[in-house]
Amino acid sequence: MKIVKHFSQVLLVLLALSTMAMAGIKDKSAAEIESDANEALSKFYSEVAGSKAYLQKVNGYVVFPEVVEAGMFVGGKYGEGVLRIKDKTQGYYSITAASVGFLAGGAKYSLVIAFTSEEALKKFMHDDDWESEMDVNMAIAKWNSEEELDDIDFGTDMIGFVFDSKGMLGNFTLEGTKFKKITP
């Protein structure tokens, strides 16, 4: 009976990993990340009223143009992005996570994380392996088409914006998600 239990767990892990491999996850060059981030920001600006003005007011922001999340009970997510301060590139980062639970399917989305305090930005930049839930809480932004984004106070040091979502997974929490500085 133990063999069947362990065998099924190994199969689930392999399925999750193969699903992510089939999703086309690959390391990108700095130029590719920059280009993809610019495209994602253009879409963000066109879809969310006031978003450009909002990002100009924050201390910095990181753009993950494509985060791929997939799994079957065991899953993960991965993406590569760029940190910008005053619209100037300051470094490149990856986002990774693994999860276990009731999940099935896959999703691809863009993510912008805005840092509204200097302390949160510095912590993000200077920790080699930074986990979103350990030290700083982040809110996932909610707004409606009647509001201008630059008029909203989210009351936290970090705000995450998920947009351009495709697929079906349904869970966009960042609990336990790791961010790591990379050299593309």
Residue 7 has a pLDDT of 45
Average pLDDT in the 5-23 region?
46
Residue 175 has a pLDDT of 54
The per-residue pLDDT for range 55-108, each reduced to its tens digit, is 999 999 999 999 998 888 778 889 999 999 999 999 999 998 887 776 678 889
**Count: domains in the chain:** 1
- CA nearest 179: which of 109, 87, 117, 111? 111
3-state secondary structure 119-136: HHHHHHHHCCEEECCCCC
Residue 94 has a pLDDT of 93
- CA nearest 99: which of 131, 77, 66, 67? 77
3-state secondary structure 83-108: EEECCEEEEEEEEEEEEEEEEEEEEE
Task: Using the predicted structure, report yes or no on whether residue 42 has a pLDDT greater than 60.
Answer: yes
DSSP output for 57-84: HSSEEEEEEEEEEEEEEEEEEEEEEEEE
Question: What range defines the domain where residue 162 resides?
Answer: 2-182
33: phi then psi, degrees, rounded to nearest 5? -65, -45
Residue 155 has a pLDDT of 62
The per-residue pLDDT for range 113-142, each reduced to its tens digit, is 999 999 989 988 887 655 544 334 444 554
- Which amino acid is present at 73? F
Task: Using the predicted structure, report yes or no on whether residue 152 has a pLDDT greater than 70.
Answer: no
DSSP output for 5-47: HHHHHHHHHHHHHHHHHHTT-----HHHHHHHHHHHHHHHHHH
